[in-house]
Amino acid sequence: MTQDKSKFSRRDFFKAGTIIVGGITVTSALAPFDGVLFATEPPKGEGKWYGIGIDINKCIGCGKCANACKLENNVPKAPFYFRSWVEQYTIKNDGTIIVESPNGGIDGFKQSVPDNEIFKSFFVPKMCNHCAKSPCVQVCPVGATFETPEGIVLVDENYCIGCRYCVQACPYGCRYIHPEKGTVDKCTLCIHRLKKGLQPACFEICPTEARIFGDLNDPKSKLNYFLKNHTCMVIKPHLNTGSKLFYNALSPEVR
């Protein structure tokens, strides 16, 4: 035994150590360690890379976007299935926060708090954030939801097994199980309209142009103009989802 031990001398140790450390350095320089196992790839800086901007100051809460989304995409009518909806936030003088979204805002809103008790109130349209590091894509066991090279998170309804793991993983509540198909359903950014040169239905229909949609890779796009000229924020930034839905005038109460 002692003989065996002496065979491995200190010099050998340093030699082996140098090889290991050097090898790690070289390989990590060649292929930098990507610390997080994300399901999707970051933007490559070529082609389109879609993002969305919503100006809360401009939203009047008509709910036309939510309605248009249901009609355009044949979303079930029952008030449990939404790809796009509007929330009404009312913060009272005493600090209580009231959030409402009756039927997703499709039938319009009523203010339930008398004006003299209101500190501030505003509408927040919600939809899929088309995250660049989507938690929903990350957890799909079969690859039935994915991000297209253009940055749109889609569902493959012919491959989805309906396990609902992605519904649990979406921090924004933007997914539901289609009651007839048994597969998951979500906003497609109206990719069927985009390919025909039209805007997504909710953007098309917004009466106050509170919704801006465009290519983040194009420095001259309307969206980049909007982002440059407003202080924009995403919802739940601490979750690091790489959300591409940017809100102007987003209050910290919005979750």
Partner 1 sequence: MEDHLQNLYEVLSKVEGYVYPNEIELNWSILIVLYPYITGLVAGAFILASLERIFKLRILKPTYGLALLTALAFMLVATMPLISHLGKPFRAYEIMITPHLSSAMAIFGFVYLWYLMVVLLLEIWFDYRRDMVIWANETKGFKRFLYKVLSLWTTDISPKAVALDNKLGYIVTVIGIPSAFLLHGYVGFIFGSIKANPWWSTVLMPVIFLFSAMVSGIALVMLIYILLTKIRKLSIDMACLDMIAKYLFYFLIIDFALEGLDQIHRIYEAEESFEALHKLVFGKLFFTLFFMQGLFGTILPLLTLGTFQFYKPKEQIRKRIYLVVASLILVGIFFMRWNVVIGGQLFSKSFYGYTSFKIGLIGAEGYLMASIWLIIPFIILAFLLWLLPPWKKIEVDHEI
Partner 2 sequence: MPQQIKRLISVFAIFIALFLIMRQVLKPESFGELGHYRAKAIQENTMKELHYAGSDSCAKCHEDILKDKSLGFHKQLKCEVCHGPGLKHALFIDKVNTAQIPDSLVLYKPIQRKDCAICHQINAARIKIQFDTINTSMIHQINVLDHNLMDLDTKVEYKCIDCHNPHQP
What's the closest the beta carbon of residue 240 comes to partner 2, in angstroms?
20
159 scored as a contact of partner 1 (CB under 8 A): yes
Instruction: Tell me the window of 15-23, 25-33, 151-159, 211-219 that interacts with partner 2 (CB under 8 A).
Output: 151-159
DSSP assignment, residue 26? H
Instruction: Tell me the window of 49-57, 111-119, 166-174, 201-209 that interacts with partner 1 (CB under 8 A).
Output: 166-174
Instruction: Tell me the window of 5-13, 53-61, 219-227, 234-242 that interacts with partner 2 (CB under 8 A).
Output: 53-61
Helices (H), the chain: 2-7, 10-30, 64-73, 135-139, 165-169, 191-194, 201-205, 222-229
State which of positions 14-43 bind partner 1 (CB under 8 A).
37-39
CB atoms < 10 A from the CB of 98, how many? 14
Per partner kind, with CB cut-offs from 5 to 8 A, the member of partner 2, partner 1, none near residue 132 is none
Give the residue with the Cβ less far from partner 1, 106 or 216: 106
205 scored as a contact of partner 2 (CB under 8 A): yes
Give me the residue label for tokens 């039209």. 198
Smallest Cα–Cα separation from 245: which of 20, 253, 99, 254?
254
199 scored as a contact of partner 2 (CB under 8 A): yes
